[in-house]
Structures are given as structure tokens and as C-alpha cells.
Amino acid sequence: MSTHPLDGTVRALAFDVFGTVVDWRGSIVREGAEFAARHGIRVDWPRFADAWRAGYRPAMQKVRSGELPWLRIDALHRLILDGLLTEHGMSGLAEDDIACLNNVWHRLDPWPDAVPGLTRLKNRYVITTLSNGNFSLLTNMAKRAGLPWDCIVSAELFHHYKPDPETYLGTAELLGIAAAELMLVACHPDDLRAARAAGCRTGYVARPLEMGPGQPPARVEDGEFDVVAGDFVELAERLGA
Amino acid sequence: MSTHPLDGTVRALAFDVFGTVVDWRGSIVREGAEFAARHGIRVDWPRFADAWRAGYRPAMQKVRSGELPWLRIDALHRLILDGLLTEHGMSGLAEDDIACLNNVWHRLDPWPDAVPGLTRLKNRYVITTLSNGNFSLLTNMAKRAGLPWDCIVSAELFHHYKPDPETYLGTAELLGIAAAELMLVACHPDDLRAARAAGCRTGYVARPLEMGPGQPPARVEDGEFDVVAGDFVELAERLGA
């Protein structure tokens, strides 16, 4: 086991989920292909997945700004999906089938290193989600994928979406620790910068395939984050777990 | 696997924790004896544990009635503990030692059937805590004891203590299910009656040793609860898990 300068100061790790822990794009493309075959339709699933995800940030922004009341991600995903189905000429689907498709976000597959890395990290740290995904989504996802969380924490518990500081501070408070004892782990620099501004430590894990092959990598300054790793197993190594 | 009339209607089980999952009295007596030996003091730990627990319901009632603001159980345990230390002539302890003693509630041991029973139930149902214990207490307890929860739900998330209906209904809402799809499992009939009144299903598990040996059993009417079991392994059997 390697040691690390953070040893003894970080007590819990909170993980961003979509992109950081699970491959949302690959999962939607895979399940989408089965869905299309079952319903005898043709869909460009990579494009569909990208458009679905692209609608997510503006929808959350409407909640953060107060334009929309608090709505969980399941509801935001459905709002975006309804628009996409019309655009893609898929408006003839039955309600049950649409609801099932919307719930694909509960059934995303983890990156291959996620479960082994988390299992190691759990030996030394409290490990939790800190995702904008709703509580039931994260619970169902963990159960299906075998993600060994100590607990589930969601933006839903705070009625604030990341990057609002209430989410990072609220997680530390629920865990009974100081913000400086909590490390956010994410593949999104903006999420990490907001966590750092709230007083948390930060762990950056690169996920170059999150947006599909051939996309430019995220821009990260040298020394900007406390730990940088290529995957969760390397993160465990660097954090002495 | 046996089948059960509830099959297909119950999707998640929410467990009361103190008494139902863990043996708070035996755990405090065991750890108390080590604490006393370390500090060279003599304490009647069974009596101490009973007095500590007896102060819990009136303290929560003060929060429920609004006489006290929202306080997590760690804070209520500490209020009661401070009074008991004076009564028992233990007021010379250092703050760190008192804080450590107060945290014994994070280190309670499960009844022997709890982990094997929960492990079976988890194969078929979402299993969660629904305890008045705070979120960090339940998270730390689960990690230490190996309780295989899918998620942690605490009264702290609702700022309402059981038996307020907000706790049972709030749990169902977080899990994305109807109240009738949630079963509360507890060894305390009053908790179960409140859950039933909120529209939940109920599972009673007898814990005759919760208050120590030789105590009268809880009074339960025939057919009052949906399922009655002697321990969690029998509960798994009855629920087809």
C-alpha cells in the first residue's frame, strides 16, 4: 500500500456518478438497440443519447434558477425524452414503453474499473454517491450493478443540484464530518472546482470515453486537484487503499 | 423458496434499527465494561444503558412537539448522557472520552440472524434502514457491522422522528414507490401501527431480549401485522427470499 499526503485528513469520498462511475452513453446505446429491435424501429442511438444528455444541464439550470420547481432527474429526463421522441418520429410508443425507456438511467453499466476500485476504497474510506440523479435511481443502479456504496446521497436530499454548494456541504453534514474531510471524485472539472470552492478536497479521474470515441479530453490545470488518476484502481492506489 | 400472499406487492423493506437490527443494550453493556476498566471506574452498565435509552423517547418528543429545534440523535444521546454522568458520579471524564462513549451508538452489534437474514432479503427486495438514528450513525454502524443495506434512510432526512407519518411516506417517496409497496419491519408494535396508518405494510419480528432477560413480551394482536417472524431468517423465508 502506498501512502499519500492526504492520509488521515480525508475520511469520506463522494462520487459523481454519470460519466464518473457509469458509462451512460454506452449503456443507452446498448439498451437502445434492444429497444429498437423489440419495437421494430430505427434510431441513431449515439446521437439520441447525446441529445438526451445535452438537455439535462439546461433542464437542471431551470430548477436551479427557480424557473421550474424542484423536479427529480427522472422527471427532467422524461421532459427531454418526450421532446426527443417527437423529433425522432417515435411518438407512437405506449406509455409503459416510454416509462421503461426513461428508466434506462437506473440501469447504466459501470466502467470496468469502478467496482474493483470502489471495493478497495471502501476498506479505508466511507464511500458514497453525490449525484444529481435521484435517490431511487442511484439505489436501483447500485443494486443492479453491484456498486458497494456505504450510503446513497443525492441532490434530491437537498433540493439543490450540483454545483450548488449546498450539495457538497450537505453531504459532509450528513456524514458528520467537516467539508475538508470530504473528497469529491469526478471526471468533470466544473463539479470539482465547485466542491473545492465549498472547502472539499478533490479527486479527478479521467473518463476520455464518456462522450464517445474521439472527443477532446477535459482541460485540467497542473496541481488544480488534490489527486489525479486514470481510473478507480489507480485512485485507490494513490489514496493508500 | 416459499411464496407469500404479499408477493409482487411489496418492493422494498424498511427496517427499524435500534432493537430490531442491533442489540443496543448488550452492546452498551459490553463496551461499557471495557470503558470502565480503562478509566478505573465502576458502573452498573445494564442500569446505565436502560436509563440512557429511557431518556431517548422523551427527548425525541420534545423535538416532535417543537419544544426543542431539530436535533439529531447524536445530540439527544449526548444531552441524556451528560445528565447520567453527573448522576453516576462520572463527571471527571475528559471531553474526548465522553464523545467516544456517546458514539457507542455508532458501534452497536447486530443480532446474530440480522446479516444472514438481510443478505437473503436483499436478493428479492430493496432493503433500507428507517431509523430515528442519524444518517452518519447508521452509515458508520452498517460499515462496522457489515449490514448489507441498499441505502441508508434516516429520520434526519425528513426532520421528523418516527412515528410521524412524514418518515414512512418520505421513505416511499425517496424509493420511488407507493406506501403500499413499502413494508416496515420492526420489533416495536407502535412503530408498525404508525406505518400501517400511513398506508405501509408491516412485518413484526420479536426481539424478546431487547430490554434484557426476563422482560414481558410486546403485546401484538392476532393478524394485526402482515407478517410475523421470530427473526430475520424466518422473515426471509416468509417473504419468499
Give the pLDDT of chain A (241 residues) as one tens digit per residue.
445 556 679 999 999 999 999 999 999 999 999 999 999 999 999 999 999 999 999 999 999 999 999 999 999 999 999 999 999 888 889 999 999 999 999 999 999 999 999 999 999 999 999 999 999 999 999 999 999 999 999 999 999 999 999 999 999 999 999 999 999 999 999 999 999 999 999 999 999 999 999 998 888 999 999 999 999 999 999 999 9
User: How confident is the model at residue B5, as a pLDDT?
Assistant: 56
Taken in order B116, A130, B136, A182, the sign of the CA dihedral is: positive
Contact B162, B155 (CB under 8 A): yes
Query: CA distances (Å), B26 to each of A45, B35, B75, in order?
Result: 57, 14, 22
Q: Does A135 touch chain B (CB under 8 A)?
A: yes
Taking the model in full, what pTM does it have?
0.96
Strands B182-186 and A201-205: unpaired
* Nearest in space to B239 (alpha carbons), one of B210, B204, B206: B204
Contact A210, A23 (CB under 8 A): yes
**Helical pair A135-145 and A73-87, crossing angle rounded to 10 deg:** 80
A25-106 topology per CATH? DNA polymerase; domain 1 (1.10.150)
Residue from B121, B136, B149, B154 to probe the interface with A (highest A Cβ count within 10 Å):
B136
Which CATH superfamily includes the segment(s) A12-23+109-238? HAD superfamily/HAD-like (3.40.50.1000)
Q: Do A174 and B143 touch (CB under 8 A)?
A: no
Q: Do B139 and A156 touch (CB under 8 A)?
A: no
Q: How far is CA A157 from the centre of its chain?
A: 16
A130 neighbourhood in chain B, CB within 8 Å: none
Check whether B205 has a pLDDT greater than 80: yes
Count of alpha carbons within 13 angstroms of residue B171, beta-carbon side: 38
Q: Does B126 touch chain A (CB under 8 A)?
A: yes
* Nearest in space to B188 (alpha carbons), one of B139, B132, B140: B132
Q: Where are the domains of chain B?
A: 12-23+108-238, 25-106
A203 sits in which H/E element: strand A201-205
A36 sits in which H/E element: helix A24-39
Which CATH superfamily includes the segment(s) B12-23+108-238? HAD superfamily/HAD-like (3.40.50.1000)
Beta bridge partners of B15: B129, B185
∠ at Cα B236 (B230, B241), nearest 5°? 165
A204 sits in which H/E element: strand A201-205
What phi and psi, each to the nearest 5 degrees, are found at residue A182? -110, 130
Q: Does B152 touch chain A (CB under 8 A)?
A: yes
Check whether B1 has a pLDDT greater than 50: no
What is the b/e burial string over A167-205, where b = at least 16 CB atoms within 10 angstroms of the residue's CB? bbbbbbbbbbbebebbbbbbbbbebbbbbbebebbbbbb
A123 neighbourhood in chain B, CB within 8 Å: none
B174 neighbourhood in chain A, CB within 8 Å: 135-136, 156
Query: CA distances (Å), A171 to each of A78, A167, A193, B80, in order?
Result: 27, 6, 16, 27
Taking CA–CA distances from B157, the nearest residue in chain A reads A157
Q: Do A139 and B74 touch (CB under 8 A)?
A: no
Q: In chain B, positions 55-94, which contact chain A (CB-CB < 8 Å)?
A: 74
Residue from B151, B177, B182 to probe the interface with A (highest A Cβ count within 10 Å):
B151
Q: What is the pLDDT of residues B13-35, one digit of tens each?
A: 999 999 999 999 999 999 999 99
Of B137, B151, B176, the CB nearest to A152: B151
Q: What is the pLDDT of residues B37-74, one digit of tens each?
A: 999 999 999 999 999 999 999 999 999 999 999 999 99
Q: Do A174 and B74 touch (CB under 8 A)?
A: no
